Amino acid sequence: MALIVQKFGGSSVADAKRVMNVANIVSNTYKAGNDVVVVVSAQGDTTDDLIEKAKEINPSAPKREMDQLLAAGEEISIALLAMALESLGCPAISLLGWQAGFNTNSVYGSARIKNIKPNRLQAELAKRNIVIVAGFQGVNRYDDITTLGRGGSDTSAVAIAAALHADKCQIFTDVEGVYTADPRKVEGAKKLKEITYDEMLELATLGAQVLNNRSVEMAKKYSVELEVLSSLNPVPGTIVKEVTKMEKMLIRGVTKDTDVALVSILGVNDNPGVAFKIFDKLSAKNINVDIILQSFGRNNTKDVVFSVSRENGPVAAELLKDLSVLEGAKIHCDTNVAKVSVVGAGMESHPGTATKMFEALYDTGINIKMISTSEIKISVIIAADEADRAVSAVHKAFIPND
Amino acid sequence: MALIVQKFGGSSVADAKRVMNVANIVSNTYKAGNDVVVVVSAQGDTTDDLIEKAKEINPSAPKREMDQLLAAGEEISIALLAMALESLGCPAISLLGWQAGFNTNSVYGSARIKNIKPNRLQAELAKRNIVIVAGFQGVNRYDDITTLGRGGSDTSAVAIAAALHADKCQIFTDVEGVYTADPRKVEGAKKLKEITYDEMLELATLGAQVLNNRSVEMAKKYSVELEVLSSLNPVPGTIVKEVTKMEKMLIRGVTKDTDVALVSILGVNDNPGVAFKIFDKLSAKNINVDIILQSFGRNNTKDVVFSVSRENGPVAAELLKDLSVLEGAKIHCDTNVAKVSVVGAGMESHPGTATKMFEALYDTGINIKMISTSEIKISVIIAADEADRAVSAVHKAFIPND
């Protein structure tokens, strides 16, 4: 008998039939003798519909009220799932974020969990109740409802697993696990049996949609064993954990991220502190910079190129036009770019990994605009319309078709 | 400057346009210098839609989960109204039942308010915020969400007005006030300028749909001045208060209630304690008896006739069949009946009121099955299909067309 946390996304509970499907999965886990905590998101398009309602009334609605509004979505789905479980003869109780003890800071729309007071959760489990918790939401110190932002339900699930020292946290999705590349697009993409937290983190950050990276960070911090698996097809998924011995693979996956823009500043006067002034200005506006490249330009000037999220590209370019130290420089923003990355702990001990990737791209005639590397990943920025071809070529180079 | 509580029903906030209409009413009250607390119900059909969703999954869903589910309805409407007010430049904050301090007992589906802890409400008002409170909901001592049942938002509004010692509680509806009879059905029905709590209570209990009777009871108990008025047409409504001097009218209104069944027990053996045993059996099953009539039957037997709600009629008849003291008696239930009542504090000092009512019915050829009177009302049970004619005739007798 174990304590298992199971998380289901919005599409898994989109209608009555799917709610019953989830109830059956949970019921089987419970009836096998396990204690079960379930975290659910709002049904299907509920959150989008609520956002739409708000926009119609006030396009710049206060964020506190937005969170109050959106929290209603999970309130509906948790109650429905509890009803479904009761109809299967399983005692179940639904808890809102605040009822489940989710204390967050006050950053409405993307609040951070400060702690979970697990008293109520533990009391309900002790009564052998299945506890269904509203994902994505919490409460701040003023007793106001907050939401955790994109992918927040994953984070809720991992946080509960950590707080209760659960044996496992299962993240149910519409895919069967973590793949070496998007299986809908890349021929020969393979499902991974295991992956380390760090690898998963790189994959999540680099555009693999399976798991939210905040949830992976938290799982790593608290050593929560994650399993990514399908709510529709009952086969083993991918285990995410700190692995010492693992199936030997040079890389774990190839990802594509199109949420990228490249800002270039050409002909910057070579004075001290220019770089500082550029990136200070951006961070003051909460713009995260990913890759930075600085090179010598003509006539004793420098060129600075950096990548940010697509949305922030034009914003950053506009901001920098007002910067006096950049007078005379040419500022340009290119949003037709994408980032392609390979991830794998194995590359640490294989110096040839980067070369192999660049060779695959070269053979396919793809031009690399920027490069960034870490111990377990290599990313390149290329033209957006070449990204899918690039992923296939790189994947084929590292993970040959069977 | 006054403190005013304003309550809006679900149809008043059914869509974005109506939410803006409500926001305008509230904003005008606020900008005139008043402190404003607003109580809203769930939008339009939201509650019915949620009930439908629940039924699809579990037709006998646990009541706790039902309340958890339904509470999401007001969460949506309060947030939207706050956003609408912000767009009009009015600082507004929405509060769920538990955030507003609504403590109730644990009778899910029809919980009673135990008390309101007004700290948060007062703090927000002190900041000159418009406070928007979710009607119909509260929280019990276990921190579980409860709902107050039918008409619960009226009760929420009156409870807040009482807790904050508000100067006035305005109940906005789709009619312009309280009428002497249903204006859609009875020619010459007049809007009342004022009415006493007791009269309103009788009207509410007897089938006038304007105000929930629990809310009127509470308003009377805490001397909360109520005003019933239209959210669509800005004209003065009807004031409900303890009035010493009032416009002279013999009666305040004529109502019809079709939620009635008549149970007759003919030929009851005349032993002591029979009546006790009958009504004890019914009260044990929570069946409320309204009017009771006992008369002598043939051969030293009695006849007992009583009225209950339509739903309870067949249930009561069935229950009594098992009662040994009623052996040999004939038990019959008639659901084709209706109750027509006249209400008015003025009748206390006018002994001729009943006669006038009976005369009007007699002139219209309507047979009276039962009669019940209190100090300020007279009710008769008649055939259901004669009820509308009866209301018109009685109304005409007391309140002639202009």
Q: Is the pLDDT of residue A383 over 80?
A: yes
Question: What DSSP string describes B22-42?
Answer: HHHHHHHHHHTT-EEEEEE--
Average pLDDT of every residue of chain A: 90
Q: Is any Cβ of chain B less than 8 angstroms from the Cβ of A145?
A: yes
What distance in Å separates the CA atoms of residue B292 and residue B313, rounded to the nearest whole number?
14
pLDDT in tens, A221-251: 999 999 999 998 889 999 999 876 555 667 8
For residue B124, give both structure tokens.
Answer: 């927000």
| Contact list, B79 vs chain A (CB under 8 Å) | 54, 65-66, 68-69, 72
For the four alpha carbons of A355, A356, A358 and A364, in that order, the dihedral sign comes to positive
Average of pLDDT values for B145-151? Answer: 90
Contact B178, B185 (CB under 8 A): no
Locate the chain A residue with the closest alpha carbon to B123: A142
Residue B293 bridge partners (DSSP): B305
Q: Is the pLDDT of residue A402 over 80?
A: no
For residue A51, give both structure tokens.
Answer: 């956002």
What distance in Å separates the CA atoms of residue A234 and residue A212, rounded to the nearest whole number?
22
| Contact list, A20 vs chain B (CB under 8 Å) | 57
Q: How confident is the model at residue B285 (pLDDT cuts 50, 70, 90)?
A: confident
Residue B208: its pLDDT value, please? 63
Residue B249: its pLDDT value, please? 67
Residue A79: its pLDDT value, please? 98
Locate the chain A residue with the closest alpha carbon to B17: A57
Average of pLDDT values for A12-38? Answer: 97
Residue A80: its pLDDT value, please? 98
Nearest chain B CA: its distance from A158 CA (Å): 24
Nearest chain A CA: its distance from B388 CA (Å): 42
Beta-carbon separation of B94 and A61 below 8 A: no
Q: What is the ipTM of this complex?
A: 0.79
Nearest chain B CA: its distance from A19 CA (Å): 8
Q: Is the pLDDT of residue A270 over 80?
A: no
Beta-carbon separation of A83 and B143 below 8 A: no
Average pLDDT of every residue of chain B: 90
Q: Is the pLDDT of residue A391 over 80?
A: yes
What distance in Å separates the CA atoms of residue A364 and residue A189, rounded to the nearest whole number?
19
Beta-carbon separation of A143 and B99 below 8 A: yes
Least Cα distance to B207 among B340, B332, B85, B318 occurs for: B340
Interface of A with B in 1-20 (CB under 8 A): 16, 19-20
Nearest chain B CA: its distance from A379 CA (Å): 43
Average of pLDDT values for B126-149? Answer: 97
| Contact list, B146 vs chain A (CB under 8 Å) | none
pLDDT in tens, A298-316: 777 888 889 999 999 999 9
For residue A77, give both structure tokens.
Answer: 């789905």
Contact A75, B75 (CB under 8 A): yes
Nearest chain B CA: its distance from A109 CA (Å): 14
Greatest mean pLDDT range, A242-246, A253-257, B139-143, B314-318 = B139-143
Alpha-helical runs (H) found in A190-286: 197-205, 213-221, 274-284
Residue A245: its pLDDT value, please? 59
Instruction: Give the number of beta-carbon pairs within 8 Å between A and B.
Output: 110
Q: Is any Cβ of chain B less than 8 angstroms from the Cβ of A87?
A: yes
Option in B58, B65, B80 nearest A57 (CB):
B80
Beta-carbon separation of A83 and B65 below 8 A: yes
Residue A292 bridge partners (DSSP): A306
Locate the chain B residue with the closest alpha carbon to A70: B76
Beta-carbon separation of A54 and B83 below 8 A: yes
Q: Is any Cβ of chain A less than 8 angstroms from the Cβ of B80?
A: yes
Q: Is any Cβ of chain B less than 8 angstroms from the Cβ of A51?
A: no
Nearest chain B CA: its distance from A236 CA (Å): 28
What distance in Å separates the CA atoms of residue A65 and residue B292, rounded to the nearest whole number?
53
Q: Is the pLDDT of residue B246 over 60?
A: no
Tell me the one-letter amino acid at B239.
I
Option in B16, B65, B76 nearest A79 (CB):
B65
For residue B349, give both structure tokens.
Answer: 């000092």
Beta-carbon separation of A68 and B79 below 8 A: yes
| Contact list, A75 vs chain B (CB under 8 Å) | 68-69, 71-72, 75
Q: Is the pLDDT of residue A201 over 80?
A: yes
